[in-house]
Amino acid sequence: MSERARRSGWLDVPAASYDAHMSDASVGQAQLLSAEFADALYRMQPKSVAVLGAATGNGFEHLVERAADRVVAVDINPEYLAILAERFGAALPGLQTAVVDVMDPGSLAGGFDLIWAALIFEYVDPPTLVANCAGWLNPGGVLAALLQQPTRHPTKVSASPWQKDLAAIEPELSLVELDAFAEWTADAGLRAEAGAHMVEVNGKGFFIGDFRRTG
């Protein structure tokens, strides 16, 4: 395991606290991410999907009965992916889990029609991950990215009864500027598609956009 993996604050966040925090009514981000993942699957109808920062499988129910032959759930936290496999292994015969650091370009075999990356660019070096995603996509494949955006909300991690259990990740969270993201994706040969949009939930703003590999 890489230095980054050993140091990641995500290894200190218990799965139960993370899930409870994200789906708490005061946060509501699990519901948002699940709905946006469903939309991305509907738009792309992918045969092969990688979910980066899959955690415990939020939204994976939308993959059931879809025609994807290959679904790879990717996360740095082995506890999260063990729970995901337990929840969805039987319903998704093509499911693979990969406990890896997405900063490593060799961590995934590639060949994806869709890479769904929701709230992970905030915890890594974003241009490196953009370049890695470009390499993992099939020609014509799409990186669908969901990025937290600045708001007047006082804290980067939302307040909830479980917030203290997420303390380890707050210093690692850096919001991604959309202008910079547009440059990194263009440099990596990913073309911004029409339909990018913003949504707001409980005072926090999120950008969702598709970036297609053209070459």
Ligand X SMILES: C[S@@+](CC[C@H](N)C(=O)[O-])C[C@H]1O[C@@H](n2cnc3c(N)ncnc32)[C@H](O)[C@@H]1O
Q: Which residues bind ligand X (CB under 6 A)?
A: 4, 8, 10, 22, 30, 33, 53, 55, 58-59, 74-77, 80, 101-103, 118-120, 123-124
Instruction: Quote the least distance from Cβ 140 to ligand X, whole Å.
Output: 24
Instruction: Quote the least distance from Cβ 13 to ligand X, whole Å.
Output: 7
Task: Count CB atoms within 10 A of the CB of residue 160.
Answer: 19
* 7 vs 197, beta carbon nearer ligand X: 7
* 117 vs 215, beta carbon nearer ligand X: 117
Instruction: Quote the least distance from Cβ 214 to ligand X, whole Å.
Output: 26
Instruction: Quote the least distance from Cβ 187 to ligand X, whole Å.
Output: 21
Instruction: Quote the least distance from Cβ 71 to ligand X, whole Å.
Output: 14
* 22 vs 137, beta carbon nearer ligand X: 22
Task: Count CB atoms within 10 A of the CB of residue 19.
Answer: 18
Under 8 Å between Cβ of 151 and 205: yes
The DSSP secondary structure of 124-170, one letter per residue, reads S-HHHHHHHHHHHEEEEEEEEEEEEE--S-S-SSPP-TTGGGGGGGG
Name the residue whose CB lies closest to ligand X: 53
* 48 vs 58, beta carbon nearer ligand X: 58
* 98 vs 188, beta carbon nearer ligand X: 98
The pair of structure tokens assigned to 28 is 């509501």
The CA distances from residue 15 to 1, 10, 57, 88, 97, in Å, are 20, 10, 11, 16, 16
Nearest by Cα to 124 from 82, 184, 197: 184
